[in-house]
Amino acid sequence: MPQSLSNFIESCLPYIRSSWREIQEQAIQLVGLLHHHGLNTNVDEEKERSALEVTSSEKIIHCLKDDQISIRIRAAEALGNIFSEP
């Protein structure tokens, strides 16, 4: 299962730009949680982990400028999860 976490994260990334707010919020939250609880401790390749963190965080950072406050809150929480210790 740990080997699949990067695939799970990559499959969630397109949904961050969804036009449906509920899906967008959940995708942002899921990416943050997967990084925090799984990827930081289970991926052997440091380079792969770093590249995925950068890609995920870049997409989430764009959500900090969203009109909806709920999206901005989820984005801030997700960034905290990505870059915090598990």
* b/e 2-15 (16+ beta carbons within 10 angstroms → b): eeebbeebeebbeb
- The token pair at 78 is 């997700």
Q: Which letter does DSSP use for residue 30 in this model?
A: H
> Residue with structure tokens 């609880």?
37
Q: Which pLDDT score is estimated for 39?
A: 53
Q: Which letter does DSSP use for residue 20 in this model?
A: S
Kindly indicate the confidence band of residue 38, based on its pLDDT and cuts at 50, 70 and 90. Answer: confident
Contact 78, 28 (CB under 8 A): yes
Q: Which pLDDT score is estimated for 42?
A: 45
**pTM listed for this prediction:** 0.84
